[in-house]
Structure 1
């Protein structure tokens, strides 16, 4: 397939074919964890497959981003949790550059969530408890002390809701000390329109 025809073929593929749920910008919580749990539960209720799957981006030794898909283990006020072996590539990358980004994409409901921040290792007890909760077959291939939980402590969490007309909604929570500051592009657009009216 020639490049021009490939580009045309790609452009012709359907996008944003899902249906976005109603979104009340006046009823958003102050904490992004609460909104994330609401959106994830909504994704599961709508039958989104693998709703806990996410793409994790880390930084390689060469300074180039590296990504892979994994499963979210937990989320609470301490951060978004994922796990792997200490001998994995991601573990080596996180040891050298303890920052990451996590992206969830739920096409049937036109929603995505991006989490960015520092990464901290969970306690040995938490890692051991997570390993113990895995199946016997999964535990059998893990060497002692090689299973690790990490938390992304978010500096920013972005909630994206797509729209057919491409007027997508972005809700951004930024950590400022112990508090969150929330902005959204819909309100920003209204404010700018009001200032120029």
Structure 2
């Protein structure tokens, strides 16, 4: 059974032949600008849910888990905690969850995470790694109220988070398997 599955998996195509081109030499100095460019390209290409990403967290002892979430906002230059500009910042990448969920408990114990956006039809990934901070109760309540189906009911356990990256890596697949990586690091 395992050998049969292995052959079936190896027979599947990895990426389409008509992938976008990416030359890191032409990339902007700001990873937020490149992300927004790639995001707009994903929207124009009809990629389903281009704002969805996998969030990886871990417990204090290093047990890792991941799940899919939705990007709530990307503030390119503002510190959402204090409303001031961040020097050398890669922006504020916002997402939300309940504090009592597994990810909420893991972030409380170990406030570091990685986001991974994957746009298969374009052969593109963006990995964002950094420290996670709680946003205000007011911002969290507003985010909850803006959710479809919220119906005005408050959820005091709802939390808006922001990830402040120390690293952002862009990955462009190539049909010849010479994939391109472009990494920004603080």
Same-fold status (TM-score > 0.5)? yes
2:131 alignment counterpart: 118
Three-state SS of the structure 2 residue aligned to 1:145 is coil
TM-score, length of structure 2 as denominator length: 0.86
| Separation (CA, whole Å) in 2 of partners of 1:133 and 1:33 | 24
Structure 1: 5+ residue stretches without partners: 176-197
2:112 alignment partner in structure 1: 99
Deviation at 1:24, TM superposition (A): 3.7
Instruction: Name 1:17's counterpart in structure 2.
Output: 16
The Cα shift of 1:45 comes to: 0.4
Greater relative contact order (CA < 8 Å, ≥ 6 in sequence): 2
Aligned to 2:83: none
Q: Structure 2 CA distance, aligned partners of 1:18 and 1:158?
A: 23
CA distance in 1, matches of 2:41, 2:107: 31
- Show the 5 A alignment for 1:39-78: 39-60=38-59, 62-77=61-76, 78=91
Alignment equivalent of 1:84, drawn from 84, 97, 102: 97
Aligned partners of 1:132 and 1:139 also within 8 Å: yes
Change (3 A) 1:49 1:133: same
Unaligned runs of 5+ in 2: 77-90
Aligned-residue Cα RMSD (Å) equals 1.6
Q: For the residues of structure 2 that align with 1:18 and 1:66, how far apart are their CA atoms?
A: 33
Q: Which has the larger radius of gyration?
A: 1
Is 1:36 the equivalent of 2:35?
yes
Cα distance in 2 for residues equivalent to 1:139 and 1:68: 26
Provide TM-score, normalisation by structure 1.
Answer: 0.82
